[in-house]
Amino acid sequence: MMDWLWGSLPGWLRYNAQSPIIFTEVGFWVFFALVLAIYQLVHKKMALRNAFLFLVSLYFYYKTSGTFFFLLLFSTWVDYSVGARLFKTHTEWKRKAWVAVSVLTNLSVLFYFKYPYFFAEFLADGFGIEWNPAPHYAIWSNSYLGTDFVENRILLPVGISFYTFQCMSYTIDMYRRQLKPVKNMWDFGFYVSFFPQLVAGPIVRASEFIPQLYKPYTLSKAAFGMAFFWIINGLMKKLILADYIASNFADRVFAQPTLFSGLECLLALFAYSLQVYADFSGYTDVAIGVAMLMGFTLTTNFNSPYKALSVSDFWRRWHISLSTWLRDYLYIPLGGNRQGTFASYSIVFLALFVVSMMADSFVVPVSLAGGILALFVLTRVWGSFRTWLNTNINVMLTMLLGGFWHGSSWNFVTWGGLNGLGLVVYKLWSKIRPWNPRSHWVGKAFGVATTLIFITLTRAWFRAPGWDEALSILTRIWTAMDWALADDILLGFWRPLSVMALGYLIHWIPSRIKTYYRNAVAGAPIWGQGIIAMAALMVIYQSLSADSQPFIYFQF
């Protein structure tokens, strides 16, 4: 039956893994033009508008992820139902039980699709327990829906990490009595699946977006101009900076780092730092612009992160929707900067126990046990140390779990842990440094440089396919840094390196200048914006690679 249903659709309407609807493809803009045309007919009736955008978003997700849109529907139904129950329930233990249903269901779905093979490998290596995860969804989908999923590897629905967090924010905010429930399931489905930001964020809070569902549609000339700017800006970031640098330099080095010098490996890491920013913030810019054309405002997700003066400042500027989500729904509930909680200490103990069990030598568990004992004694006799430990234990846990959110591998856990360690070290340094980095340009330059270098070096674990490959990159930088090859490297890769340098220089333009030209483009007459669009498209066309690369955060 389902085979007949999918087969009855024209080919151009059916899901095709080789041609999903994404911002960098012409197909998306044809789709969006049709959506806008119909939107003009329905926008005055809010219920009809929201239902239309929900159905359109579902179709968008189907075209992007195929039959995984059933999973999106399941998550939508569960959290809408839990939210309705929470609003009607006043007994505290029952409210806690309902929010637990939401959190456990969402995390279970996320675990099932994203982490089973990671834990299977972990159990095998650490405890000798053989567990072969059964890909039930793949088997069911192949049998009844006619799909062709490979049944022995991870199935990762596009955007699952993003919309899972959005669903949980709704039920948690309802539990905290910070939000009233939506009027119907159509409205909630629209909130969860709004197509501009569905597959790669920004993560939209229910408390920020749901009130917009019940506001009339308006689009001023200023808003149209700003939407135009964000769309053009995002496409240029993605297609000129991110894709060109990746195809012509970064990907080549990361594919076989041992064939390149330490200097080339170092430059590749800086290239990747710019690539991942331009790629992800480019997607966000386009999503913000597309949403604005339909009268909706999405949260800001980036604020010139490579201008950051410290690691702490960086995480206030990078992936803001995730950073603030982790702060409000994980870091603060764990105790924030006030104290460690039973949950936070339990997680730490479990993590250390796991490390001990996986160690090849008894020295590791003995050393860890000695370290724990020493820490316990210090917390009993040294009050300020106890405060410092309580403050920073939650920082480390939040960053470790934030790294794990990005992917099911030790690479991402390591990346998160290193950033957590950077935050802890910065807190110590900020208390003893002999100057204020904001008081003089030298201090600012030092802060920006050291922060960028640290963040870039940690990205070895973010980009490399495995731990050994990440270490290989860093080892090459340490052992094979041959500056005599600098001239040859610059001559051989002068085009991508020039684009990379231009990207960083544009990024470091003062904010007041960026605001000026952003407003100038947004306020330009229609004919002027048309000229800008044509010029941008010509530049994009000249820089296009053979195949546009998928957005990096689609994999998360």
Same domain, 157 and 12: yes
Q: How many CA atoms lie within 13 A of 345 on its CB side?
A: 10
Same domain, 250 and 368: no
- In angstroms, what CA-CA distances link 271 with 310, 405, 457? 20, 24, 11
Same domain, 151 and 281: no
Alpha-carbon 390 to chain mean position: 28
Domain boundary pick from 217, 232, 252? 217
Same domain, 143 and 116: yes
Summary count for the chain: helices (H), strands (E): 26, 0
Rounded CA separation 503/242 (Å): 9
Same domain, 326 and 431: yes
Structural domain boundaries, residue 21: 2-217
Phi-psi bin for 110: left (phi > 0), alpha (psi -120 to 50), beta? alpha
Domain boundary pick from 217, 252, 281? 217
Same domain, 60 and 145: yes
Same domain, 43 and 66: yes
Q: 397 CB contacts (<8 Å, ≥6 apart)? A: 330, 334, 344, 347, 348, 420
In-domain check, residue 459: no
Same domain, 11 and 152: yes
- pLDDT tens, residue order, the chain (556 aa): 444 444 555 555 666 656 677 887 888 888 899 999 999 888 888 889 999 999 999 888 888 887 788 888 999 999 999 988 988 888 888 899 998 999 999 988 888 888 877 777 777 766 667 777 777 666 666 666 666 666 566 667 778 888 898 989 999 998 988 888 888 889 999 999 888 888 777 888 888 888 898 888 888 888 899 999 999 999 999 988 888 898 889 888 988 888 888 899 999 999 999 999 999 999 999 999 999 999 998 988 999 999 999 999 999 999 999 898 888 888 878 776 666 666 666 666 666 665 555 555 555 566 666 666 676 666 666 667 677 777 778 888 888 888 888 887 888 888 888 898 898 888 888 777 776 767 777 878 888 999 999 999 999 998 888 888 888 888 888 888 878 788 888 888 888 899 999 999 999 999 899 989 888 888 888 888 888 888 888 887 777 764 567 777 766 6
In-domain check, residue 463: no
Same domain, 327 and 295: no
Q: Are 142 and 370 in contact (CB under 8 A)?
A: no
Q: 75 CB contacts (<8 Å, ≥6 apart)? A: 105, 106, 109, 163, 164, 167, 192
- In angstroms, what CA-CA distances link 272 with 22, 252, 256, 262, 358? 22, 11, 15, 15, 32
Same domain, 18 and 152: yes
In-domain check, residue 231: yes
Per-residue buried b or exposed e for 162-187, using 16+ beta carbons within 10 Å of the residue's own CB: bbbbbbbbbbbbbbeeebebbeeebb
Instruction: For residue 407, give the 3-state DSSP assignment.
Output: coil
Alpha-carbon 541 to chain mean position: 27
In-domain check, residue 138: yes
Same domain, 356 and 414: yes
| Domains of the chain: total | 3
In-domain check, residue 26: yes
Domain boundary pick from 167, 196, 217? 217
Same domain, 83 and 205: yes
In-domain check, residue 453: no
